[in-house]
Structure 1
Amino acid sequence: MIAVFAGPSLPPAERRAGEGMRFLPPVAQGDVARLLQRRPRPAAIAILDGFFEGEPAVLHKEILWALAEGVPVLGAASMGALRAAELHGHGMIGVGEIFAAYRDGVLVDDDEVAVLHGPAEAGYPPASEAMVNIRATLEVACRRGILDAAGRDALIEIGRRIFYKERSWRRLLAAAAEAGVEAAPLEALAAWLPEGRIDRKREDARALLAVLRDPPSLPAPAWHFEWTGIFARIAGTGGEVEEAPSEEEAAILDELRLDPDLYERLRPRALLARPEAGGGAPDAATRARARARLLERLDLPDRRARERWMAANGLDAAGFEALVEREARLEGLP
C-alpha cells in the first residue's frame, strides 16, 4: 500500500483508491510517524497537502525516520513540495515544477502554495488562489500577448502582497486597477482567465501520482538517524505531549486517521462539537454574513459562477448550503 496525503491540490474525484494507493487527509504532525508504527508499513509515502496553521505541520524528523527505515517519501504541489525541497539532500524525492522552484531558490516564501480550503466532508476544496498558480497563469498570459512583461511583473508583486487566505483573481484584478495598472490588459486577462487559468498545484499532484505507479527504490542513507526522547514522545502521541490522549483514545485516533472516509466525516464534526463551537443553529444574520464571506472567498460573483464551482467540486445545492452552515457556525469560534 502507498499512502498519499492529499487535500486541495487534488480534486476529490481524483483521490480514489486504486493501483495500490490509499488516500489520507492532509498530513499533520505525527501522521507519518503513526504510519511507520503500523504493520505492514506502507511501501511508500506521498505528501501533497498538509496542515500548518490550525494544526502542527508534519515534522522533518518523522520524514527522516521513514527514509532511515527504507520507506520512500515523495512530495509535490504544496506541503510535499516544501518538505521535498528541504529534505531532497537526505533522500526525499520531489516531483514537479513547484518542488524544483523551491529547491533551486526561485521560490522562497511558504505562502506561495498556501490556500484557504473548505471542510473535509466537501473534499477540502480550495477557497483561495495559490500564488504559484497565479505566477504560472500570468506567465502564460504574457507569452500569449495578453499582458506585457511589465504588466505581468506588476500583477505578481501585487499578488504577493495579498494575504494568502484572501488571494483570488477578482481581488488581484481589483487591487491592480486601484494601483493604476492599465485597464485594457486587465480586461483582456479577466476575459481569458476562465479558459486560460493554470493550476500548477494540480498538475504537479498528477505528476506525482504518475510516478507512484512505479515508485523508485531508495539507496541506503549515508547519514545516521538520531533517535531522541522528545521525538519518541511526539511520535508516540502525534503531537501535544502535555495533553496526550489515553491509550484507548490514541488507538481510536490511529484507526480513524487511516480510514480517510470515516476520518473526514468525523473530524470537522468533532471540532464543531467542542464547547466553544456553540450548540445552537446560526441565526439569519450570521448565515447571511457567512454566505457573503464564502461567495467572496470562492470568487463566485453570480449564480452561473457558483453553479460551475459546485459542479467542479461535486456539490449540489444542499452541499453548498452545508458549507454556508459550517461557515456560520465557525464564526463564533475563538
Structure 2
Amino acid sequence: MTIALFLGPSLPLERAREILDGRYLPPARQGDILRLVREKEVDAIALIDGDDYASGPLVWHKEILCALDRGIPVFGAGALGAIRAAELAPFGMRGFGEVYRLYREGLLEGDDAVAAPFSVEGGRYRRLAEPLVNLLATFVRARERGFVSDEREAALKGAAEGLFYRERSLGKVLERLRADGDIDEEEAAALGEVLESLRVDRLASDAEGLLRHLAQEGPGGPVQVSLPPDWKESHVFRRIVEEERQEVVDDVILTVGDIAAWGALARPEGFDLARRGLNRFLGLELARQRGLVAGDDDVALESTRFRRRMDLVDDEAFRGWMKANHLDDEGFVRLMRDEATLSRLRHWLFVAQRFGTPVQAMADEMRLEGLYEAVSAEAARAYGLFRTLRKDIRQEASELGSRDDFFPSYVAAHALASMDRNFLAWCEEMAIDTGRALSHALIREGLRRSFESLGKEDEEA
C-alpha cells in the first residue's frame, strides 16, 4: 500500500520516516493532488504542508474532492492539511490533531495561523518564522503553569496576531510588548527564557499524530464521500483541472497551461491554434446549452475514425500516442466524446436547423488566413477546365455507369486526410451540399481519366 504524504517544515523528514514509510513529497501546490489522482499509483494521500503562500496558488478544494470521488482517502493535519480537512470534513476528508480541531470548531479562522515561510537546504526545510498556532499554544502553557497571568497571555496573543506572518517570532512578540510599554527590557529577557523553555510545536506534534495513526491503522475502510451530484459542473473546476494538470516532459515538470501558453506564443501557428481552440470551446459550450450530448456508440465510432485517420490502429502505436499526448483512457474518451458532440452540433446547425452551407464563414476564414485570393484563382482555373470538357465528361460518365464506376475511384484517388467516414456522411457533416459535391466529384474523376488516356495515347504515339 502506497501513501503519498506532502510534508515540509512541519516535521523533519528523517523523523517522519522513522514513524511511517511512505512516498514523501514536498509541500503541496495547486495541481499536485490532481497529478496523484491521474497517476493512479497511491492508495491514500496525507496533506500536512502546503507551499509558502507567497510562492503560488495552494491546493484547491476541488482537487481534494476529485481524489475522494475516485475512492482515495485524503487525510489532513498540521498546517494547510488541517485547514482543508476542517473545510472538507463534511465531504469525506479526514482531519487529525489539535490544529484541525481548532479550525473545525471555529476557534481558528485565518489561514495565516499556520503559515510560515521556509527555506530548503540540502533537502531540509527550515522555518524562517514561527506559526501563530505554535506561539498561542506556548502562551497557553505558560499561563496554565503559572508563569504569566491571564492579562499577560492576552497581551502576548494580541502582539503575535498583530504581526505579519512572515515576521512572527517569539523575539518579535516581546519587542512589540516592549514598544507598547507593557514590559521593560529586563522583563522581556526573563519572559523570553521562560517561553522558550515551554515552547510548543503544535504543527510537529499534529503531524506525528497523523503519521502514527496511519502507521498503526492504515488508511482504514472505504471513503465515505458525500458530494453533491453537480460538484464538477463549474467552469472554474474544468479550468483548474486542465490548466494546472502537471506533466513531466524530459524530467521537467510542466502544467498543461505552460504547454498551451508556449504553443500559443512560441509557435508560428500559435495564434491560429489559440483561435481554433477558442472556437472549439465555444462549440462545446453551445452543444452543452442545447443538450446535444454524444452517446457511447457515437464515441466508439469517433474513436475508430480518429485512430484510422491518425494511423493508430495498432494498439502499441495508440498507447505510445496516448503517453506522448498526456492522455489516459478516461482523457481519450473525453476527447472523443467532445469530437462526437461537435459532430452532432454541426449536424444540428446545418441539417436539423436548415441553416445551409456555411459559405460565408468558409470564405471569411480564407480571407482571414490570407488564402482567399489564391483559392479563388485555383477555382477559376479548375472550373474553367470543367466547363470546357463538361459535355464529354457527362456523356462518358453516363456510358460507363456514372456513379457506380466513377465515384469509388474518385474517392480512392482524392480522399482527404480528414475524410474519415463515407463520402456522403462527410459532405453532410461539413455542410457541403451533397448533390453538387457528388457532381463535382464525378467531373473531376472524368477529367482525371481523360488526361490519363491522353497521356497513354501520347506514349503509344
Same fold (TM over 0.5): yes
Output aligned runs, 1:80-229, within 5 Å: 80-119=81-120, 121-183=122-184, 186-213=188-215, 214=217, 215-223=219-227, 224=229, 225-226=231-232, 228=234
Look up the match of 1:4: 5
Instruction: Give the drift of 1:146.
Output: 1.3
Instruction: Give the drift of 1:227.
Output: 5.1
Distance 1:107 1:128, change over 3 A: same
Instruction: Give the drift of 1:14.
Output: 1.9
Q: Give the Cα–Cα distance (whole angstroms) in 2 for the partners of residues 248 and 83 of structure 1.
A: 27
Q: Give the Cα–Cα distance (whole angstroms) in 1 for the partners of residues 145 and 220 of structure 2.
A: 37
Partner of 1:115, secondary structure, is coil
Letter in 2 for 1:199: D
Residues 3 and 45, structure 1, Cα contact 8 Å, conserved in 2: yes
| Structure 2: runs of 5 or more not aligned | 255-461
Instruction: Give the drift of 1:178.
Output: 1.2
Look up the match of 2:272: none
Letter in 1 for 2:222: L
Residues 28 and 58, structure 1, Cα contact 8 Å, conserved in 2: yes
Equivalent in 232, 240, 244 of residue 238 of structure 1: 244
Output aligned runs, 1:22-41, within 5 Å: 22-40=23-41
Residues 8 and 125, structure 2, Cα contact 8 Å, conserved in 1: yes
Q: Give the Cα–Cα distance (whole angstroms) in 2 for the partners of residues 162 and 200 of structure 1.
A: 19
Q: Give the Cα–Cα distance (whole angstroms) in 1 for the partners of residues 243 and 250 of structure 2.
A: 7
Distance 1:120 1:95, change over 3 A: farther
Residues 16 and 208, structure 2, Cα contact 8 Å, conserved in 1: no
Q: Give the Cα–Cα distance (whole angstroms) in 2 for the partners of residues 137 and 26 of structure 1.
A: 25
Q: Give the Cα–Cα distance (whole angstroms) in 2 for the partners of residues 232 and 172 of structure 1.
A: 44
Taking CA–CA contacts closer than 8 Å with sequence separation of 6 or more, which of the two structures ends up with the larger relative contact order? 1
Partner of 2:55, secondary structure, is coil
Look up the match of 2:313: none
Q: Please give the per-residue CA displacement for 1:28-54, whole angstroms capped at 9, x wherever unaligned.
A: 0000000011133x1110011102321
Q: Which region of structure 1 is more displaced relative to structure 2, 54-63 or 8-17?
A: 8-17
Distance 1:144 1:248, change over 3 A: closer
Residues 111 and 164, structure 1, Cα contact 8 Å, conserved in 2: yes
Q: Please give the per-residue CA displacement for 1:61-88, whole angstroms capped at 9, x wherever unaligned.
A: 0000111111110111110011011101
Q: Give the Cα–Cα distance (whole angstroms) in 2 for the partners of residues 104 and 185 of structure 1.
A: 35
Instruction: Give the drift of 1:171.
Output: 1.0
Instruction: Give the drift of 1:220.
Output: 4.1
Q: Give the Cα–Cα distance (whole angstroms) in 1 for the partners of residues 56 and 87 of structure 2.
A: 20
Q: Which region of structure 1 is more displaced relative to structure 2, 48-57 or 127-136?
A: 48-57
Distance 1:250 1:191, change over 3 A: same
Structure showing greater radius of gyration is 2
Letter in 2 for 1:101: L
Residues 99 and 133, structure 2, Cα contact 8 Å, conserved in 1: yes
Q: Give the Cα–Cα distance (whole angstroms) in 2 for the partners of residues 85 and 164 of structure 1.
A: 21
Residues 17 and 23, structure 1, Cα contact 8 Å, conserved in 2: no
Partner of 1:27, secondary structure, is coil
Instruction: Give the drift of 1:250.
Output: 8.5
Instruction: Give the drift of 1:139.
Output: 0.5
Residues 95 and 204, structure 1, Cα contact 8 Å, conserved in 2: yes
Instruction: Give the drift of 1:185.
Output: 5.3
Letter in 1 for 2:244: G
Distance 1:19 1:160, change over 3 A: closer
Q: Please give the per-residue CA displacement for 1:88-125, whole angstroms capped at 9, x wherever unaligned.
A: 11111111010110110101111111101112635221
Q: Give the Cα–Cα distance (whole angstroms) in 2 for the partners of residues 70 and 24 of structure 1.
A: 21
- Give me the CA root mean square deviation: 2.4
Look up the match of 1:44: 44
Q: Which region of structure 1 is more displaced relative to structure 2, 23-32 or 181-190?
A: 181-190
Residues 146 and 185, structure 1, Cα contact 8 Å, conserved in 2: no
Instruction: Give the drift of 1:13.
Output: 2.1
Output aligned runs, 1:221-300, within 5 Å: 221-223=225-227, 224=229, 225-226=231-232, 228=234, 230-238=236-244, 249=249, 252-253=252-253
Q: Give the Cα–Cα distance (whole angstroms) in 1 for the partners of residues 12 and 178 of structure 2.
A: 32
Instruction: Give the drift of 1:248.
Output: 6.2
Aligned residues: 248
Residues 68 and 223, structure 2, Cα contact 8 Å, conserved in 1: no
Instruction: Give the drift of 1:226.
Output: 2.1
Q: Give the Cα–Cα distance (whole angstroms) in 2 for the partners of residues 123 and 186 of structure 1.
A: 32
Instruction: Give the drift of 1:136.
Output: 0.3
- Please state if 1:63 is matched with 2:67: no
Residues 85 and 102, structure 1, Cα contact 8 Å, conserved in 2: yes
Q: Give the Cα–Cα distance (whole angstroms) in 2 for the partners of residues 121 and 236 of structure 1.
A: 33
**More helix by percentage:** 2
Q: Give the Cα–Cα distance (whole angstroms) in 2 for the partners of residues 248 and 98 of structure 1.
A: 34
Look up the match of 1:72: 73
Distance 1:250 1:109, change over 3 A: farther
Q: Give the Cα–Cα distance (whole angstroms) in 1 for the partners of residues 248 and 23 of structure 2.
A: 25
TM-score by length of 1: 0.68
Distance 1:226 1:204, change over 3 A: same
Look up the match of 2:337: none
Look up the match of 2:54: 53
Look up the match of 1:311: none
Output aligned runs, 1:302-321, within 5 Å: none
